[in-house]
Amino acid sequence: MKLEGKVALITGSGQGIGRGIAVRLAKEGADIIVDDRADDSRAQETLAEIKALGRRGCVVSGDIGQSDNDRHIIADGIAQMGRIDILVNNAGVERHAPFLEVTEEDYDLVLDVNLRGAFFTTQAFAKHLIDDGRPGRVINISSVHEELPFPNFSPYCASKGALKMLMRNLAVELAPHGITVNNVAPGAIATPINTKLLNDPQLLQRLQQNIPLKRLGTPDDVAGLVAFLASPDADYITAATLYVDGGLMRNYSEQ
Ligand code: BGC
């Protein structure tokens, strides 16, 4: 077990990729702070899985789109578990709309959760590590769309593109404190964010044809990479985006 003695906080770990990461890091020996918008049955289900693995854990909650909540989530996690070593900025939302029809409300929601949330949660976490004089890991769950256009998802792409530059900047600024910062960029993963796609057989088949490995990814596919980045094996990796997308981003074919 590579993460024994470490405490990890994963935002948005009540479901989907976040839950997969929480469980995987627990299997590697980490104690887990589950975060979700509300401390409800979703968050408690993830916590129950952590505890069934014999790890310690707790739940923190609040809308991470508001910076006060970001500071609170970190402070509450430390209060309950004593420390945090690994922060996974996973919580994210997307809204479908052609650019000309995007409302300010949807723009604010997507940018606040995907970017502001990661920004201020990381700021509070970095202060905690620096105050304690300890190294740490920041892992952002970005997307292939930090690089690849996604028509009808402009706020989402803007948030993920910004998350790419935020990661690079923080990797440089925080390196002197022994804090590494990396992005994990999933492609199409079967999770609740893709409910519409998963319920549309034609759309799903077209997408799968477009993925060189010919299948959607699973939360476990993403979680394995996060576990690696959180482990000592990744000590010398910072300022990187690592893709977990079945080859989707690099695909080109004339057939
Ligand atoms: C989005 C999904 C999309 C996938 C591949 C992800 O970042 O959240 O909706 O299917 O990228 O395009």
Query: Would residue 1 count as lying in a domain?
Result: no
Mean per-residue pLDDT over the chain, rounded? 97
Share above pLDDT 90 across residues of the chain, in percent, rounded to a whole number: 97
Tell whether 108 is covered by a domain.
yes
pLDDT of residue 252: 85
- Dihedral (Cα; 239, 176, 129, 158), 10-degree rounding: -30
Q: Residue 186: is its pLDDT beyond 90?
A: yes
- Structural domain for 203, as ranges: 7-250
Quick check: is 183 in a domain? yes
How far apart are the CA of 57 and the centre of ligand 1, in A? 30
The answer to whether residue 23 sits within a structural domain is yes
Contact (CB, 8 A) for 175 and 238: yes
Tell me the pTM. 0.97
Ligand 1 centroid, distance to 187 Cα (angstroms)? 6
User: 210-221, pLDDT tens digit by residue?
Assistant: 999 999 999 999
CATH number of the domain where residue 186 is located: 3.40.50.720
The model's pLDDT over 89-138, given as tens digits with 9 standing for 90+, comes to: 999 999 999 999 999 999 999 999 999 999 999 999 999 999 999 999 99
Assign 253 a pLDDT band (cuts: 50, 70, 90).
Answer: confident
User: Kind of pairing, strands 241-244 and 7-10?
Assistant: unpaired
Calculated CA dihedral for residues 208, 16, 115, 244, nearest 10 degrees: -40
Task: Flag whether pLDDT at 80 surpasses 90.
Answer: yes
Q: Is residue 2 part of a domain?
A: no
Q: What number of H helices and E strands is found in the chain?
A: 9, 7
Q: Tell me the best of 17, 93, 94, 157 to mutate to test the pocket of ligand 1, counting ligand atoms within 8 Å of each CB and taking the most.
A: 94
The residue nearest atom 9 of ligand 1, judged by CA position, is 194
Q: Is the CB of 245 under 6 A from ligand 1?
A: no
Confidence band of 39 (pLDDT split at 50, 70, 90): confident
Is 246 touching ligand 1 by the criterion CB < 6 Å?
no
- Please identify every residue annotated as catalytic: 156
Strands 57-61, 31-36: pairing kind:
parallel
Ligand 1: centre distance to CA 132 (Å): 37
How sure is the predictor about 50, in pLDDT bands with cuts at 50, 70 and 90? very high
**Is the C-beta atom of 157 inside 6 A of ligand 1?**
no
Inside any domain, residue 255 = no
Cα 156 to averaged position of ligand 1 atoms, centre (Å): 10
For the chain, what is the domain count?
A: 1
Quick check: is 113 in a domain?
Answer: yes
Residue 106 in domain: yes
Stretch 137-143: mean pLDDT: 98
Q: Are 60 and 73 in contact (CB under 8 A)?
A: yes
